[in-house]
Chains A and B, each alone.
Chain A
């Protein structure tokens, strides 16, 4: 759906994006994360055709966004962090204007307006001026504007910034619903816990390069191996001894009542291992594949030294693309 190829962009004296390539599949929600100044906003701006790259292309649904920015804008919706609303217009006028500006045929404008307002629960606010709305409602109006023309791709920059917890939960529901309705979504945000609620993929950018692009919430499988997390009801020194004696097991982490081990991705082997531990009298309360958490994965990458990141980037990006 979104193909970013060798994207390179400079600011005076500094390379902001360095040969960035990634392909984002349809019907996914990708969390775009990274430290301040990593290049997230630049990447979003280039994808939204607000700036032209030095090198590289961005294709959305096969269309090069920089060849014909206007045509590209008709198939994408963008929610900037400042919302960009006309305070003196009513909600209805805001939506009417945006529908027409995005090229919705005149005979379909009313239907599009109602569909967008219903999706974002704004039907009872159509006569209110945008400037009188609360921040949560302004955000909903901004999303309604961004999706009024049924774009295939929706890009959101810090959508939850300044929202109360209730509004954030509502936002997560809206985004999941939009994905279910057929949109591919990219969300740039600093609030990782919130991103984890609805994102299907994570794209970590650092120093203008992609360091990780991976599905979120999947089990930690890699090249036929699997990471398992083991937990006991209480401390037992025999756990380490037992595990060390089994040749098929590699102990990755060991605490008093917890361990992370690496084993072959084989169900029979796992069943045998569990039987062996229980038979040995260990009080096993948890025996499950480890799952990738967005926050853990992010922190593990942003704390990697830059040299290691650049080495990892090439391999992981390719792997992520395949996923």
Chain B
């Protein structure tokens, strides 16, 4: 590990004897004090150790992970790092583990405190091991997410604001929150089983295995982002792999229980829709790169076109494929009653046709992407995504609610995917919106990508 100069540099900055001894002394004092209070003290030590770990790793280290990059950018050292001979992998883990070295040291002391309390209370070693693995895996995954989000924001030229560092930290924190699920699962360990592709698994190890695999994807994502930042060409195979994994993993919860294929595809489709939005928002949407990519495609340079291709069109195509398959299958394999509960809950008296909703969802997704693209090709690129999301949220919620009150349900299909029990009314409005937005995007695209020579610009 010391062979990584980036990791070593972070250790120089993060760890000093005073800081290490300070952390050890605090945890040592808590443990020593707990020994005077018998069972109450043991219980206090385990709970204090766990919550201190949550604080140190969940809150602090996710902040440090994002800050590790933000400090480089603010201190003008990031460009120098990008011009070094360090590989993307060395940069990724050196920054991630090095930048959070001190929180991790404190976190490990906290785990030791927790384990000492649990052992004294007679907990099984396996249970303690699962708990530790869950916490550590959650922390590593959360940090990878936090640094990845910081890298994404850097590509979007938005990392200079402290608020954005906080945003990256919150994203990491949200992922870290799954460690609490591990806690809950451990309470009901044994009788609680997870059914996946027809097999039953104990909840705790299943959750831990899922977390570790998800963590590996996050680390791979971080590595790929770092490669991109270091100007290496990235083909989108990793993202395609992640989409395939998401489909297979989520479909497994409905598979093998005599459910039709349609029931297996509902949640993967919803996940794919969300991932399409995510990949769109994460993309810098640089019209220059888009033009270069299209130009490479036209000239038959597939390798260059793939390396310049943003991930959101790939996500949309995969979503479209899964959605179309689901819509076609729904004709012959209707959803079982259990899978439609959420539809009944939302529209109890409308009884929407799932097939119509699937097709409308795909169309509305296209509409939203075009709308966001239109804003991004405008003058205020930096604020385009946030402004667009606000507009869309207004359209999906307050406006939809107002329309449903004012004009009954007939006009809802203008703003949200809705089965108006009439093909023209269900799909007509959104198709018109797509057409209008498509024309506007094309026009704005032409004006954004027209190249002026210097003399013309002057």
Contact = CB atoms under 8 A, between A and B. Distances in A.
A89 B449 CA distance: 44
B82 A50 contact: yes
A208 B455 CA distance: 10
A85 B79 CA distance: 11
A14 B85 contact: no
Interface stretch (B1-9, B129-137, B318-326, B385-393): B1-9
Interface stretch (A72-80, A166-174, A275-283): A72-80
Nearest to B453: A15
A93 interface: yes
Interface string A66-98: 100111011010101011111111000100011
Interface string B273-286: 00000000000001
B451 A50 contact: no
Interface string A1-36: 000000000111111001000000000000000000
Interface in A84-126: 84-89, 93, 97-98, 100-103
B287 A12 contact: yes
A207 B8 contact: no
Give the one of A48, A84, A149 with max B CB within 10 A. Answer: A84
Contact of B79 (A84, A97, A100): A84
A14 B9 contact: no
Give the one of B83, B292, B451, B452 with max A CB within 10 A. Answer: B83
A14 B452 contact: yes
Contacts of B81: 101
Given A78-B83, A97-B5, A98-B84, A306 B231 contact: no
B76 interface: yes
Interface residues of A, number: 43
Contact of B13 (A49, A70, A89): A89
B76 A101 contact: no
B85 A102 contact: yes
Interface in B61-110: 75-77, 79-87
A152 B452 CA distance: 36
Given A15-B454, A98-B84, A207-B453, A86 B9 contact: yes
A89 B12 contact: yes
A70 B229 CA distance: 12
Contact of A102 (B8, B82, B84, B286): B84
Interface of B: 5-6, 8-9, 12-13, 75-77, 79-87, 230-232, 286-288, 291-292, 295, 448-455, 457-458
Interface of A: 10-15, 18, 48-52, 54, 66, 69-71, 73-74, 76, 78, 80, 82-89, 93, 97-98, 100-103, 145, 149, 206-208, 306
